[in-house]
Amino acid sequence: MQNLILDFLRVTESAAIASMPWIGSGNKIAADGAATDAMREALNNMKMEATVVIGEGEIDEAPMLYIGERVGAGGSHKVDIAVDPIEGTTPTVNGQSNAIAVIAAAPKGTLLYAPDMYMKKLAVGPRAKGKIDLNEPIEENIAAVAKANKKAISELNVLIQDRSRHHDIIDRIRNTGAKVHLFHDGDVIYSTSTCIETLDIDLFLGIGGAPEGVLGAVAVRCLGGEMQAKLMPQNDNEFIRCKEMGINNPNAILHHNQLVSTDDCLFVATGITNNLLVDGIKTDDNNYITHSALINGNEKKIRYVKCTSPLSQTVKTLE
């Protein structure tokens, strides 16, 4: 997998550059389409045989990179990939922070193959690995993480998305004395942040998309942390779809090894707009300037790459 990491960097850079003309445009469909087209083209130029196990929808929702789509130009590498050409489409088209182009990859058969639906997620950094349990009340997890991180509960920083579905859990966390930090979009960014010590984030919790859950799970595993999750089918059709994709008990807790079962995994993200992980894309007189994070699960470290690309690089522009 390490041999592919720079190729995947070119994939996320291409998607970020393609999305740049749509920053602040208000046009989510056009922004997503431009980034997806660029990502698919770059993936199809790679020497690999890859399957999209987590994408932007089911097979009937093309032209997005859909679950089950095959990409790559062929080769000896058999790869599963999870993609989001724009993680944070709303902030992108509103000219706000917290948008990245992101991809996670691992050998074939090692990433969760699951439908696009809601997922409950709990993530912590390396010091609290092995101390969390999504089956237990949040109060017990708060206490366990505080002990593992050698903090008083009042010093604990918890990230959770600002959504009405989280109001009760937010109140319960605050009642423990822990500090709650709310965010609006970009839960891949925030789950990953639990593993970056300088950011001082102790725990991430919330209900969001399963695609973002698997992407975040790869990043967290790459950095030595832990994530647990639970799919949340909203109707009979979603429940049946889980079973069709091999998830016999959709109500069961998914431990980290079920989300991604190997350390031989990669996570690559390029900034579209500024966020906790990387800077947003910029330009000077001649170049796009991108900032990316590369994380290799075998090394348990994060590398940052700043790259310049000619403004003449072809992107879909506003019409």
Residue 52 CA to residue 69 CA, distance in Å, equals 5
Task: Find out whether 165 is annotated in a ligand binding site.
Answer: yes
Task: Find out whether 164 is annotated in a ligand binding site.
Answer: yes
Cis peptide before 91 (omega within 30 of 0): no
The two three-digit tokens of residue 186, written as one number: 């970009």
| Bridge pairing between strands 49-54 and 78-87 | parallel
Task: Find out whether 213 is annotated in a ligand binding site.
Answer: no
Task: Find out whether 89 is annotated in a ligand binding site.
Answer: yes
The two three-digit tokens of residue 308, written as one number: 């310049």
Residue 161 CA to residue 159 CA, distance in Å, equals 7
Identify which of 45, 51, 52 has the alpha carbon closest to the alpha carbon of residue 73: 45
Task: Find out whether 118 is annotated in a ligand binding site.
Answer: yes
Task: Find out whether 174 is annotated in a ligand binding site.
Answer: no
Identify which of 140, 78, 66, 73 has the alpha carbon closest to the alpha carbon of residue 107: 78
Identify which of 190, 209, 210, 215 has the alpha carbon closest to the alpha carbon of residue 81: 215
Residue 237 CA to residue 250 CA, distance in Å, equals 12
The two three-digit tokens of residue 87, written as one number: 């993680």
Task: Find out whether 224 is annotated in a ligand binding site.
Answer: no
Question: Which alpha helices (DSSP H) does 83-209 contain, by range?
Answer: 89-93, 138-148, 167-176, 187-193
Task: Find out whether 84 is annotated in a ligand binding site.
Answer: yes
Phi and psi angles of residue 221, each rounded to the nearest 5 degrees, phi first? -65, -40
Task: Find out whether 186 is annotated in a ligand binding site.
Answer: yes
Task: Find out whether 177 is annotated in a ligand binding site.
Answer: no
Task: Find out whether 185 is annotated in a ligand binding site.
Answer: yes
Task: Find out whether 88 is annotated in a ligand binding site.
Answer: yes
Question: Tokens 């366990």 appear where?
Answer: 144
Task: Find out whether 58 is annotated in a ligand binding site.
Answer: no
Residue 315 CA to residue 319 CA, distance in Å, equals 12
Binding residues for substrate: 87-89, 118, 163-165, 185-187, 209
Binding residues for Mn(2+): 32, 56, 84, 87, 212
Binding residues: 32, 56, 84, 87-89, 118, 163-165, 185-187, 209, 212
